[in-house]
Amino acid sequence: MEREVIVIMGLVLFGALVGTLTANASDKRSKVHGNNIARFLHYVSCGVMATTTPFVLSSVFLLHLGFAQAVLGAVGLFVVSLALLIPYAIIEKPFLDALKHEKDKGWTAQDAKTSGL
């Protein structure tokens, strides 16, 4: 029982650290424009996804579970990560639409004067 608790705590710590690094790298590449809830869902989803591979390795080698159980757990973590991205996308969409409309002002009189046509 003690071994399972240590492995779970290690996976949570790994997910928090590597998930934060992954979310920050993702945020630099494509910024999250939503509110704090969207950022939180993004961070948690990155953490869960980052934990998938260490979960399989620790399940097989430390907890001595079967390979099928480890793969099933990995698929479960993957599904949880994707399920967290659904509310993230719902929250993020209005912010992205507003940003798109803000940038797209169309052809203005100033553009016509400076175009040289």
DSSP helix/strand/coil, 4:
helix
Residue 58 lies in a domain: yes
Residue 106 pLDDT: 65
Residue 20 lies in a domain: yes
* Distance in angstroms (rounded) separating the CA atoms of residues 32 and 100: 14
Q: Which residue has the higher pLDDT, 115 or 45?
A: 45
Residue 40 lies in a domain: yes
Work out how many domains the chain is built from and give that number. Answer: 1
Residue 104 pLDDT: 60
**Which run of H or of E encompasses 102?**
helix 67-103
Residue 117 lies in a domain: no
pLDDT in tens, 20-46: 999 999 989 988 888 899 999 999 999
Residue 113 lies in a domain: no
Among 39, 26, 45, 33, CA closest to 93: 33
Residue 59 binned pLDDT confidence (cut-offs 50, 70, 90): very high
Residue 98 lies in a domain: yes
Task: Determine the structural domain holding residue 82 and report its residue range.
Answer: 2-104
pLDDT in tens, 64-114: 888 999 999 999 999 999 999 999 999 998 888 877 776 666 677 777 778
SS3 per-residue string spanning 17-69: HHHHHHHHHHHHHCCCCCCHHHHHHHHHHHHHHHCHHHHHHHHHHCCCCCHHH
Q: Which of 3-7, 55-59, 96-100 bottoms out in mean pLDDT, i.e. has the lowest?
A: 96-100
CA torsion angle 58 17 51 91 (round to 10):
160
Residue 94 lies in a domain: yes
Residue 109 lies in a domain: no
